[in-house]
Structure 1
Amino acid sequence: MLVELGHFALVLAFFIACVQTVLPLIGAHFGRRALMDLAAPAALVHLVLIAFSFCVLTYAFVRSDFSVKLVVENSHTLKPMLYKVAGVWGNHEGSMLLWVLILALFGAAAALFGANLPTTLKARVIAVQGSIGVAFLAFILFTSNPFVRLATPPMDGQDLNPLLQDPGLAFHPPFLYLGYVGLSMTFSFAVAALLEGRVDAAWGRWVRPWTLAAWVFLTIGIGLGSWWAYYELGWGGFWFWDPVENASFMPWLFAAALLHSAIVVEKRESLKAWTILLAILAFGFSLIGTFLVRSGVITSVHAFANDPERGIFILMILGVFMGGALILFSLRAASMESRGVFAVASRETALILNNILLAVAAFVVFIGTIWPLVAEAFWDRKLSVGAPFFDAAFTPFFTALAIILPIGAMMPWKRAKISTVLRKLIPSMVLAFAVLALVFVMQTGKSLLGPIGLGLGIWLLSGATQDIASKLGKKRDLSRLLRLPRADWGRFLAHGGLGITIAGIAGLTAWTVEDIRVVQVGEAFEVAGYTITLDNVARKQGPNYITTMADMTLFDGAQKIATLHPEKRNYPVAGMPTTEAGIDSGFLRDVYVVIGDVQSNGGWAVRTYVKPLANWIWGGTIIMALGGLMSLTDRRYRVAAGARKTALTPKGVPAE
């Protein structure tokens, strides 16, 4: 009965979303306050209904209710509780329910925290958000119902994909969805502004916190996914340019561009049309990612579904929302004239260049991702676009972006002297070039990738530090640091974290040492100055798997520094093996060991990597996310421009 109530709640949520969409838009168009006031309570009821439905599905997974088809296909009685819960979104239907739950959550947040928004704009934002909910609730109800019952329930389930039975994958999808779906708010603000026919500084201030929140969640989600791929897949890589990895990376790039562009709208009332377009594209690429994962057009360990009919439905949603928004954008382009005038050398220009590089980088990733599909559809050719293309095509744009970031951050608005800015950054330049030269001299017979990446990382980190130091004044009053806006500290952490991540990527890519050999139990071998001994290999029983676990001792010279336990697991129910690497993590390097199959001579296949600066990648990602969170706590993001509220409210419509 409870399962049927969960399904009924979804149906009811669909009709509430229709009310949330239609009536507030009519009220905003005709200036009827009563209809506009329906937006907020409808959004809250919408959230409550979907939350109830999600809780019902979670309860079915927790208690192993095998009368529900989705539970049978993605759970098992022996599965640990964490993965029973994660199984709710570790599949297509459940993940879509989480998708609409987060969508409703953002709509309700706009209703609760949008008190400073003009009445008509608030009604339209919530209505547009509701329209997205209508589309995806229809998608769930007609193609992806998570509450389908089985006439004859089995005694046990088929288990969750073993690759998803990991803490990294338990938390990675919810954070990604918070980012993906969070960009729906920027889309809703953009469409609402187009319907209003007005984009100004107040709109830029209102849209920034929503964009920033989505960017932070995407950063965390991408970082968790990268970390999982590094330690779980056994290949020792952190990024594989997988189509689904790209699907989350492209919205991240557009969100970063939108964050910087919205600053120009807020501060200078320029780049209005471009910022609106970025808001549309950012969410549009989130929908493209949803299509790639669920349509069956690509093959990936991340893919949720292989159903072309579902893909067509999502493609229709993408066409309606993107097509409608772009048509509205073209009709309203004349009303988005820029007011601010600025010189070529100015912060505005630097931010434009920043936007161009981020957008072009995103389109490079997009072309590389879809080109095999295009080649197969039009020329019947099966092509594979791999890391060499992405590395060669993407890296130059991101390198240029890293070079200009510290310079642009220190430029004044409207007019600047580049020589003055560069003079302030001389210490950062000297330090970056010194590190680059030192590393290049110390390495022998290797590429410039490592030294250049490390130099860029130091340039970004020291440039961000110099930006903060420049705010101390000529007297270097350290007490001024305590009075700096949190957004300034957020920028420092975000730019510095990016520098640390770039340095980590360069170090791991350029200087990784790999060793593959067959090792007998009791035998010791050396890799990159470390000695590793294979002490024992034993079969053990896990909660829902059987594992072959090795005990390996790591020595640095004569000193024992760690005992590693790499595993090779087999999940009997799913019939699928997984690899669990043994990793000794350090500040400057990881020693990464993988146990393979037993060989004919009784030895074991062992792969060993020494990976310099590996943890800098995820440490920098965490720092970037912390920077975004710190900026989000800045009072200027929480308090909208109340003085603009009256101006933005049409005549005859009372302000809240």
Structure 2
Amino acid sequence: MLIEAGHYALALALALSLAQAVMPVWAARTGDPVLRGVAVPAALASFVCIAFAFGALTFAHVTSDFSVLNVFENSHALKPMVYKISGVWGNHEGSMLLWVLILALFGAIVALARDSVPATLRANTLGVQATITFVFLLFILTTSNPFARLNPAPVEGRDLNPILQDPGLAIHPPLLYLGYVGFSITFAFAIAALIEGRLDAVWARAVRPWTLLAWCFLTVGIAMGSYWAYYELGWGGWWFWDPVENASLMPWLAGTALIHSTIVMEKRDALKVWTVLLAILTFSLSLLGTFLVRSGVLTSVHTFATDPARGTFILAILVLFIGGSLTLFAWRAPSLRQGGLFAPISREGALVLNNLFLSAACATVLVGTLYPLVLESLTAEKISVGAPFFNLTFLPLVVPLLLAVPFGQTLAWKRGDLIAAAQRLLVGVAAGILAVLGLLAIRAGGPVAAPLGVGLGTYLVVGAVMEIVTRAKGGSLGLSLRRATGLPRSAWGTALAHAGVGLTVIGIAAQAWSVEALATVPRGGTLTAGPYTATLTGVVPRTGPNYTETVAQLAIRGSDGALEGRLEPGKRFYGTRNMAVSEASLLTLGLGQVYASVGESQPDGALGIRLYYKPLVLLIWLGAVVMALGGGLSLTDRRFRIGAPARSRSRAQAPAPTTPVAAE
């Protein structure tokens, strides 16, 4: 009965979202306060209904109700509880329900934030957001029903895909969806602004926190997915330029550009049209990622399900929202004035340069991801676009962007002094050069690009620190500390995020010094990678709740012969799925790791072992966490916790100092 109630709740949410989509937008056009007031209760009720449906599906998974088709196909009675819960979104139907739940949650938050934005803008925004909710609910109910029943009910389920039975995959999809869906609010604000014909600093202030929030979640989500691929798939890599990886990277790049563009709009009343376009494109890329993963047009280790039958519906969603929003933009944008002017050498100019490089890099990833799919659909010819293409096209755009980041921090608004900015960055430049020269001296004959990358990362980190030092510098140490503590949290958050980028760059560059060893090792044999040697001390069988496992016991010793730790990589076999997966084992030594995975065992008892030494590899993900923390710290800035200032009565009677669309 609970399952049927969950299904009914989704149908009720569909009707509520339709009412929320139509009435507030109509009220904004007619000025009817009663209809406009429908938005808030409709948004809250829709969220409650969807949350109830999600709870009902979760209960079915937790209690192993195999009369539900979704539970039967993705669960098992002996599966650990954490994977019973994560199995709710470890499949197509459940993951789409999670998507809509987050969508409704964000809509409810906007509905409750009554004083943060003007009433008309909020009504239009809730109407657009409800339209997205309605379409995705319609998609779920017509093509992806998570509450379909089986009669008679099977005794046991088919179990969850073994590679998804991992803590990383329990966390990664919700974080990623919080990022994807968070950009739906910025999209809704953009469409609402085009409908209303009003773009000003109030709009930018309303959009920027949502952009930051979505960007923080997406950053951590991508990092979590990268770390999962690194340790779970057994190949030792952290990024493969897989189409689904690219699908999450593209909205991240566009979202990063959007964050910086909203700063210019809020501070200088400039880049209005460009900012709205970026808001549309960022969510459009999130929808494109959904299409790539859910439509069945590609297969990836990251996809939960592939079903070409659903592709047509998702393609229709793309046409509706991407095509419709770009059409609206093309119609309304020519009537919008760009706003404030600024010199090319200024902080605004640096942020524009930032946007150009980020947009070009995003376009490069988009072309490399979609070109094989388009070519195959037109000519039936299959090609693969991999790391060589992206390294030759993406990196040349990112490197000058990173070089420009510290300069943008030090330039003044409207008109800056490039020479003075360079002088303030001398410490960062010197630190980067010293890092390069030191590494070239220590690792003579090694890769040249790696020291340059580490130098670039060092320059970014020190440049971020020097921005705070420069702004806080006073007559005495005590005064400087007081000025530093008095700086806006957004200044600290910006510096922290840029330093996080530098840490990630250092971690990526250091992988050029990774060492790999692969051999068939007998009992008691050794394998050496870099300064560490692994000794195979034994091979033991183990039994888990829903799998059997063969574990290799490795003793790891340093170059001096001292025992550093032990690793236990294994090979797991899941009988229900009839599927074997590798389980890598990691030994963290400082910021580096020794990484081991095993292959097939030989008749004589020898075992295939792959051993890596990866220096500073943890900086890749620690840097991403620092980036997200910087964004989160910026969100606590006082400007984001208060609403837009109300105009005085005299100003309210005068024409509003905004950018209206020309009368139609």
TM-score (norm: length of structure 1): 0.97
The answer for the alignment partner of 2:17 in structure 1 is: 17
Q: CA separation in 2, counterparts of 1:294 and 1:649?
A: 49
Q: 1:629 and 1:88, CA in 2 relative to 1: closer, same or farther beyond 3 A?
A: same
Task: Note the residue ranges of structure 1 that are not aligned, 5 or more in a row.
Answer: none
Aligned-residue offset at 1:646? 7.9
**AA matched with 1:36:** R
Partner residue, 2:562? 559
Letter in 2 for 1:358: L
Deviations 1:508-531 (A, max 9, x none): 1x1110001111112234321222
1:451 is displaced (CA, Å) by: 0.7
The residue type paired with residue 183 of structure 2 is L
Match of 1:633 among 625, 631, 636: 636
Q: Look up the match of 1:253.
A: 253
Distance 2:647 2:501 in 1: 35
Give the whole-Å Cα distance in 1 for the aligned partners of 2:649 and 2:61: 50
Alignment deviations for residues 421-468 of structure 1 (CA, whole Å, 9 cap, x no partner) = 000101110110111122123223332221111011001100000100
* C-alpha separation in 1, matches of 2:442 and 2:116: 58
Deviation of 1:115 (Å): 1.9
Of residues 549, 552, 555, the one that matches 1:550 is 552
1:344 match: 344
Q: Which residue pairs with 2:244 in the alignment?
A: 244
Task: State the shift of 1:586 in Å.
Answer: 2.2
Residue equivalent to 1:541: 543
Deviation at residue 400 of structure 1 after TM alignment: 1.2
Deviation at 1:420, TM superposition (A): 0.4
Give the Cα separation in 2 of the matches to 1:198 and 1:235: 52
Return the alpha-carbon distance in structure 1 between the equivalents of residues 542 and 583 of structure 2. 14
**Structure 2 contact 496–630 (Cα < 8 Å) conserved:** yes
In structure 2, the gaps of 5 or more residues are 656-664
Tell me the CA shift for residue 306 of structure 1. 2.4
Mark the CA change 1:166 to 1:108 in structure 2 (over 3 Å): closer, same or farther: same
**SS class of match (1:447):** coil
- The match for 2:393 is 393
SS in 2 for 1:124: helix
Counterparts of 1:3-402 in structure 2, within 5 Å, are: 3-402=3-402
Mean CA deviation greater in 106-115 or 185-194: 106-115
Question: 1:187/1:269 Cα in 2 relative to 1: closer, same or farther (>3 Å)?
Answer: same
Residue 528 of structure 1, aligned match among 527, 530, 549: 530
CA drift of 1:298 comes to: 0.7
Report the residue type matching 1:522 in the other structure: G
CA contact (8 A) 2:532 2:613 kept: no
CA contact (8 A) 1:492 1:627 kept: yes
Cα distance in 1 for residues equivalent to 2:172 and 2:529: 33
Distance in structure 2 (CA, Å) of the matches to 1:131 and 1:376: 33
- Give the percent of matched residue pairs that are identical in Structure 1 and Structure 2: 52
Are the aligned partners of 1:202 and 1:644 in contact in 2 as well (CA < 8 Å)?
Answer: no
Q: Would you say the 8 A contact 1:182–1:210 is kept in 2?
A: yes
Aligned equivalents of 2:319, 2:198: Cα separation in 1:
25
1:445 is matched by which residue type in structure 2?
G
Residues in 1 aligned to 2:92 and 2:584: alpha-carbon distance in whole angstroms: 28
In structure 2, what is the Cα distance between the partners aligned to 1:523 and 1:561?
Answer: 17
In the other structure, the counterpart of 1:424 is: 424
CA shift for structure 1 position 39:
0.5
Question: 2:516: which partner in 1?
Answer: 514
Give the whole-Å Cα distance in 1 for the aligned partners of 2:397 and 2:114. 37
Q: Are residue 484 (structure 1) and residue 471 (structure 2) matched?
A: no
> 1:198, 1:335 within 8 Å by CA — same for their partners in 2?
no
> Structure 1 residue runs of 4+, over 4 Å off?
644-652
Cα–Cα, structure 1 residues 651 and 288, in superposed 2: closer, same or farther, change >3 Å? farther
Asked if structure 2 preserves the Cα contact closer than 8 Å seen for 1:254 and 1:278, the reply is yes
Q: Which aligned pairs between 1:419-498 and structure 2 lie closer than 5 A?
A: 419-475=419-475, 477-498=480-501
Aligned to 2:199, the other structure's residue is in SS state coil
Contact kept? 2:67, 2:153, Cα under 8 Å:
yes
Q: Distance in 2 between matches of 1:77 and 1:108?
A: 35
From 589, 592, 615, the equivalent of 2:592 is 589
- AA aligned opposite 1:254: A
CA deviation after TM superposition for structure 1 residue 215, in Å: 0.1
Could you tell me how far apart the structure 2 residues matched to 1:165 and 1:280 are?
A: 35
Are residues 120 and 549 of structure 1, via their aligned partners in 2, closer, same or farther at CA, if it must alter by over 3 Å? same
Give the Cα separation in 2 of the matches to 1:648 and 1:570: 72
1:92-131 deviation line (CA, Å, top 9, x unaligned):
0000000000000000010112423111111001110000
Structure 2 CA distance for aligned equivalents of residues 289 and 555 of structure 1: 44
Answer with 6-15 or 639-648: which moved more: 639-648
Change in 2 beyond 3 A, CA 1:43/1:216 = same
For 2:299 and 2:405, locate their aligned partners in 1 and report how far apart those are by CA, in whole Å.
Answer: 36
SS at match of 1:643: coil
Q: Which moved more, 1:329-338 or 1:528-537?
A: 329-338
**More displaced stretch, 547-556 vs 96-105:** 547-556
Corresponding residue number in structure 2 for 1:499: 502
Checking the alignment, whether the CA contact within 8 Å between 1:522 and 1:533 is kept in structure 2 is yes
TM-score by length of 2: 0.96
Q: Deviations over 1:194-237 (max 9, x none)?
A: 01101111111110000000000000100100110111111110
How far did residue 575 of structure 1 move?
Answer: 1.2
Distance 1:119 1:259 in 2: 24
Contact 2:517 / 2:527 at 8 angstroms: preserved in 1? no
After superposition, the C-alpha distances for 1:290-342 in whole angstroms (9 at most, x for unaligned) are 00001111110122332223111111111111111111111211342122111
**Matches of 1:19 and 1:166, distance apart in 2:** 40
Letter in 1 for 2:230: Y
Determine the C-alpha separation between the residues in 1 that align with 2:442 and 2:314.
53
Deviation at 1:650, TM superposition (A): 10
Please list the CA deviations of residues 539-573 of structure 1 after superposition, one character each: whole Å capped at 9, or x if unmatched: 11011110001111111122111011111111111
* In 2: Cα distance, 1:33 partner to 1:438 partner: 68
Aligned length: 652
In structure 1, how many angstroms separate the alpha carbons of the residues matched to 2:588 and 2:473? 41
CA contact (8 A) 2:453 2:506 kept: yes
- 8 Å contact 1:264–1:348 — kept in the other structure? yes
Pair 1:456–1:644, CA change in 2 (3 A): farther
Q: Distance in 2 between matches of 1:606 and 1:621?
A: 30
Distance 1:158 1:651, change over 3 A: farther
1:640-651 aligned within 5 A:
640-643=643-646
Q: For residues 448 and 44 of structure 2, what CA distance do their matches in structure 1 show? A: 55
- Residue identity opposite 1:602 in structure 2: G
Q: Secondary structure at the match of 1:343?
A: coil
Q: Quick one: which amino acid aligns to residue 108 of structure 1?
A: A
| Superposed displacement of residue 649, structure 1 | 8.5
Query: What is the aligned-residue RMSD (CA, Å)?
Result: 1.6
Q: Is the 8 A contact 1:180 1:283 kept in 2?
A: yes
Distance 2:412 2:57 in 1: 53
Instruction: Name the residue aligned to 2:662.
Output: none
Which SS does the other structure have where 2:77 is aligned?
Answer: coil
Task: Return the alpha-carbon distance in structure 1 between the equivalents of residues 137 and 653 of structure 2.
Answer: 33
C-alpha displacement at 1:647, in angstroms?
Answer: 10
| Equivalent pair of 2:519/2:527 in contact (CA under 8 Å) | no
Instruction: Measure, in 1, the Cα distance between the counterparts of 2:305 and 2:650.
Output: 48
Q: CA–CA distance in 2 between the matches of 1:344 and 1:262?
A: 18
- For residue 608 of structure 2, give the secondary structure of its aligned residue in structure 1: strand
Question: Helix, strand or coil for the counterpart of 1:150?
Answer: coil
Partner letter of residue 516 of structure 1? L
Partner residue in 2 for 1:603 = 606
